[in-house]
Amino acid sequence: MFKNIKEAKQYIEENGIEFVDLKLIDLKGRFRHLSIPSERLNEKVMKDGIGFDASNYGYASVEKSDMVFYPDLSSAMIDPYALRPTLSMFGDVYVIKENDNVPFRQYPRNVIQDALDYMKKQGIADQMLVAPEYEFSVFDEISYDVQPGFVAYRLESEESELLAGQGGFDGYRNTSKGGYHIDRPRDRLTDLRDEICSLMKDAGIEVKYHHHEVGGSGQLEIEVELGDVAKLADDTMIAKYLIRNTAVENGLTATLMPKPIHGEAGNGMHVHMMLKKDGENIFYQKGNYANLSDTAMYFIGGLLKHISSLCAFCNPSTNSYKRLVPGFEAPVTIGYASANRSAVIRIPSYAKGEDSVRFELRNPDATCNPYLAFAAILMAGIDGIMNHIDPKDHNWGPFDFNLYQLNEEEKAKLEHLPASLEEAVEALKADHDYLTAGNVFPEELLNNWIRSVVGDAEEVNRIPHPAEFRLYYDL
């Protein structure tokens, strides 16, 4: 938004901005923030930064938690939810080393930039473009509780036959898995999506379109246009912020959890991608399979080779693996194909031209930290390019048929995604050299990440599940 502090101060004065809200990202990918009076955004802050305690962010121990935040003026936007006029912006995090401030290499925005710098140093490309698809669920109400003698959650959606409350019935409710592109009056959330997309546009996010998704209980999708991967990581954080807060402003609740409802379609965050060099799409080669170049196929090969360990970053929640099951258009097979949603990598058949040829990775979901997930995807692809990993040499496709309809013998010949977070973490422990190449992912970051997600899995595994009472109470 701003090129320099002079522009920012002028805008603040002319628009009556009272506060500047500084957005930081913790290890898991949640926003943290601190606010300063607008007059404190000045030349001194831009030169010296703002000190803060990061001991609760997941990166550092208490004795090494003093860090410095430098605002990124180009990322500034008006916060539409603040009561007082507030300008919100991202920034970069530094640590104090030998009386100097140096970039904190575990900070997510620094990691994605290091991955891009590594790609450029190898001479592979000078730009990575991505386009995430945001799938999410909107409910009228949610409640959950975890107590020693009481474990439960409850969801209500008035547009769903499955989750409707006890109120009046107008005759228009969606069946389970019957919501795809459904129109009014069954689609009760069109206006909400319009509002979210309008706010995304105001924030500089290019929306492609929005629609109701397959899930009949308020499952929605917003797609955005291809853009620079570092900006799209920021935009993903903004999109999630807008989705959640706009729902609350309308008396609703939104979640990007991969599988909030048993038996319904889950929420993914498919990631379309493309590499460019000197302005040219280096994934394009007319006449090849799906018009994809050898470079693109090697990139796919790298993704598929490392897909199990990638899941630890792209699907880092226990809930992720309740989505990655057959029968719900979620990918479970390691392979690629054109126009095939049952493979983990899909090549859109409608994207045939030089400016549009790309592919999408279908396993990621929005519980990921987008910076770390996008950086890991790029590093896997770079490894594939540098080592000429051809997916055809590994029985990874192309699979131009429905993988869900194979018999058990045929399925046994194929490789599959991890079935649990624990499996993904074990894969990451065994396969992470491609991430530490060029020192892009510091070992300390990998250790902190593993410790964090394993802690989640252990906590969930310790809690008795209601289904266990149904299955085992009388044994």
DSSP letter at 375 equals: H
Tell me whether residue 213 is one of the annotated catalytic residues: yes
Taking alpha carbons only, the member of 389, 264, 372, 383 closest to residue 336 is 389
Tell me whether residue 360 is one of the annotated catalytic residues: yes
Taking alpha carbons only, the member of 189, 214, 33 closest to residue 133 is 214
Residue tagged active-site, from 362, 365, 416, 432: 362
Structure-token pair, residue 94: 């530094």
Structure-token pair, residue 137: 């669920």
Interacting residues of 44 by C-beta distance below 8 A, sequence separation 6+: none
Tell me whether residue 181 is one of the annotated catalytic residues: no
Interacting residues of 240 by C-beta distance below 8 A, sequence separation 6+: 134, 256, 366
Tell me whether residue 341 is one of the annotated catalytic residues: yes
Tell me whether residue 133 is one of the annotated catalytic residues: yes
Residue tagged active-site, from 109, 210, 270, 432: 270
Residue tagged active-site, from 159, 360, 365, 383: 360
Residue tagged active-site, from 294, 341, 423, 426: 341
Alpha helices (runs of H) in 15-134, residue ranges in sequence order? 43-48, 108-121
- If DSSP codes are grouped into helix, strand and coil, which group holds residue 149? coil
Tell me whether residue 135 is one of the annotated catalytic residues: yes
Q: Distance (Å, rounded) from C-alpha 107 to C-alpha 105?
A: 5
Residue tagged active-site, from 140, 221, 235, 365: 221
Residue tagged active-site, from 79, 109, 114, 135: 135
Q: Which helix (H) or strand (E) holds 436?
A: helix 433-436
Outline where DSSP puts E strands in 213-342. 219-224, 227-228, 253-255, 271-277, 280-281, 333-338
Residue tagged active-site, from 7, 53, 354, 443: 53
Return the CA Rg of the chain. Answer: 23
Residue tagged active-site, from 79, 109, 114, 133: 133
CB burial string 202-221: b at 16+ within 10 A, e below: ebbbebeebbbbbbbbbbbb
Q: Distance (Å, rounded) from C-alpha 77 to C-alpha 73?
A: 9
DSSP letter at 464 equals: P
Residue tagged active-site, from 159, 187, 213, 234: 213
Active-site residue list: 53, 133, 135, 213, 221, 270, 341, 360, 362
